[in-house]
Structure 1
Amino acid sequence: MDVYSEEELFKVIRSAYEGGLRIQVLGKGKHGKKEGVDEYVYTRKMDWFEIRDGMVEALAGADIGEIRKEASEEGLLLPTLYDGTIGGLLATNFPSPLSTAYGKPIDFTNWVRVLTPYGGIKWKMLVGSKGVIGAISRAELRLYPKPNKIFTYEKEDFNERELEKVMSLSPLVLLVDYQGGKFRIHSSYSHEVGLKGYSVDEGVPLVEVNDERKEIIVEGDDFDTFKKVIEVSQPIYAYWIWKSGMFILFNADTDMLREYNIKYYTRDQPKEVHIKLKKLLDVKGIFA
């Protein structure tokens, strides 16, 4: 079912509440339908957005790519590489390589409105709640001056001193990935910094995403911990974005993580605080 406005979305939510139905609110439906749902509700037609005064205000279905494009034409940057809608971006609160400099989506969000069966709530705490508490309907996000160029320095098998050096230079991106027994550093800046022994390219580095690989997340934000998690779990691929607060592992040995008492979770798994809020704000459990 497509909805076209906040008013229509609220009516669907209220109807589900009164009828005891279970719904899942999606943007374009790219990121995982859940089972046991009576109705899938799509906000993709709620695609209005407006850029003004260095901000973007948008409905949940506004396309991130279109916002980035229009912002770029005005010399501005929406600091995420997320492929989807505003609602999806804020529901997941997932970092991108640019999170090193700009933070996760919650950090550049001014406010967000979430619809529940009882009405709308304007509360940033609900960013990252994975849609289990209510439906994100509208938000305002900050934009930033767009760098003229981005230079990315890359090196394999670096040492701790080299990592400290690139950190000290205030990178826009600091991405460390692991594959085939080797770590590789990707550090991006808005100007040339003259790091010796690195290959240099233009643009923001991307991470390898493969839907056939099983992805899990471990919390942490330093290289020593990242190395320990890699050593314990032996993933086929992994990456860490500095200041994201998480390590992303693919095809890791979760039995070994449990043995070493290292907690992990999946991308669509709500955090404990949001599970507690769900008990208060979604007493009938209508949101999948």
Structure 2
Amino acid sequence: MSDEVQPGHVRVRLDLSYDGTDFSGWAKQAGGRRTVQGEIEDALRTVTRSKDVTYELTVAGRTDAGVHARGQVAHVDLPEALWEEHREKLLKRLAGRLPKDVRVWRLTEAAEGFNARFAALWRRYVYRVGDRPGGVDPLLRNHVLWHDWELDVAVMDAAAKSLVGEHDFAAYAKKREGATTIREILDFGVRRRPDGVVEIEVRADAFCHNQVRSMVGALLFVGDGHRGAEWPRKVLDAGVRDSAVHVVRPHGLTLEEVGYPADELLAARNKQARNRRSLPAAGS
């Protein structure tokens, strides 16, 4: 698949964040559901006075309904003339047009070979959980899950560390046609903040659908004593979904950051990631 920018166009990188509470996820959907992609593309069309054109965004990580993002990255290819006309004021105009639960913080002309999805080296997510008997601070209710059992963070951290490395995460993922479930977890850890909120942080080259929320579900079972620290790894090695692994609710999850290589390595990373994300065709 070619990813060359069409002649007469320029690739623009967007750094953005959003509160996912009232969104049906990132990706546009049929039926008029509210999505982050839809809101930004509509705003772009409005502020550039391009009523009959849709400038389609490509994103680093397609978040599900209710999932938040602090460090999301996307790109869009715009006609050179339009970019030159609007580039100085585009950021402020988007701020005036976008709803308050999504913000674009930076617009920059992307380096050659940049692709928000395929050039990314890793994505870093944090899932936040509160285990106070009285519940979660009302001001954090849309971003922190309440777990009504006290959590042993040290045991959870040990269990998380057992999943680091490259594995087939079929046991923690929703299978998608033609896609591999092999991923590499670079870091996985659990800590408790001074205010008592437990943060489960994971960084990987990429994630399968529902993978992070499934792994968090397994860690919560370990943290509250229902399973031993070795159980999440046993589930992984079994290679099949375990009915005891629950996909936790989305609102505790935030995409915090996306990492990219140096500009001169973007094209090579883009090609490598495309090859790893797809299964070979039958007979090949």
Task: Give the structure-1-normalised TM-score.
Answer: 0.28
Q: Which has the higher contact order (CA 8 A, sep 6+)?
A: 2
